[in-house]
Amino acid sequence: MIDRIQDGPVIEAQGLTRIHGRGCPDCVRLTGDVHGRNVCPACGSVVAVAEVSFRLWPGEILGVMGESGSGKSSVVRLLHLDDRPSAGTVRFRESHGRAHDLASIDEAEARRLRDTRFGMVHQNPHLGLNFGVSAGGNIAERLLCCGERRFHAIREAALGLLDRTEVPRARIDHQPGQFSGGMQQRLQIARALAPNPELLLLDEVTTGLDLSVQARILDLILSIQRDLGVAMVVVTHDLGVVRLLAGRTMVLRHGRVVESGLTDQILEDPQHPYTQQLVMSAL
């Protein structure tokens, strides 16, 4: 379904639900934070996320926080069109006003959006980078997806993106396997930024990196948001990351949103017992 709207959120999700398994009419009712489980006792299906609704505005960073298995990565997979929801709608609006319902989009259009409008940075660089080609080749692939066919223009753009993400220019022809963990993440960010995306999805980008490298990556993400104004969804289980990056935060548990609002408000005055526990444990 495609229509045109002038202004509005980049992403508007309504009742987003993803059930793995055959599912039954009681799946959503019998799972969730109230029941303390996300496996349906009636049919055994896994309710990865259910009834998740949120809006993401242009230039905004939305934090998605929760423990392992809470459904954070499922939300990102649905937004990145790597998976399709069992119910609900996700409306994505391109900057020129064209809007898409990501829940019912066809595979060819999904590929176009993934290639030209979205950027994704994975926790595991092996998922986000092609280790068989050079750093420049990784960035070139995204530019080639957008139709760029001038070798020298691709080369210049790749060097510019390496500058932007603080990867030394001299490393452009090195393979990602020769990079450190932090540099691999920066290369992933450079690759994600190549087509000037309108939505950047960051899935646990600093997990597993040492603190000094984490700080540099977070600074880089902030500067990108400030300079380019790209909307971002940051998935993390680290309170420090949402505190630094996200204007608004959504807390997930057992596949449900248990609390959402301004990040400062959630961290200073958490209402849900799980969020309180999370904030207390961090302090």
Alpha-carbon distances of 38 from 195, 246, 252, 260, rounded to whole Å = 37, 27, 12, 20
Residue 145 CB, nearest approach to another protein (Å): 5
- Rounded to a whole number of angstroms, the minimum distance from the CB of residue 75 to another protein is 24
3-class secondary-structure state, position 234: strand
Shortest distance in whole angstroms from residue 141 CB to another protein? 5
- Closest distance of CB 95 from another protein, Å: 23
Query: Which residues, in sequence order, are CB contacts of 242 under 8 Å at separation 6+?
Result: 63, 65, 234, 236, 249, 263, 267
Residue 130 in contact with another protein, rule: CB under 8 A:
yes
In the bound state with another protein, the residue whose beta carbon lies nearer, of 195 and 255, is 195
Distance between CA atoms of 168 and 179, rounded to whole angstroms?
11
CB 29 within 8 A of CB 65: no
Instruction: Tell me how far CA of residue 117 lies from CA of 37, 146, 216, 273, in angstroms.
Output: 35, 10, 25, 37
Stretch touching another protein by CB under 8 A, among 22-30, 55-63, 152-160, 239-247:
152-160
Selected range binding another protein among 64-72, 148-156, 184-192, 242-250, rule: CB under 8 A: 148-156
CA atoms of 66 and 235, how far apart (whole Å): 9
Residue type, 262: L
Candidate residues 141, 160, 216, 228; the one interacting with another protein per rule CB under 8 A: 141
What is the nearest approach in angstroms of another protein to the Cβ of residue 140? 5
- Residue 24 is a binding residue for another protein (CB under 8 A): no
Site residues, another protein (CB under 8 A): 107-108, 111, 115, 130, 133-134, 136-137, 140-142, 144-145, 149-155, 173
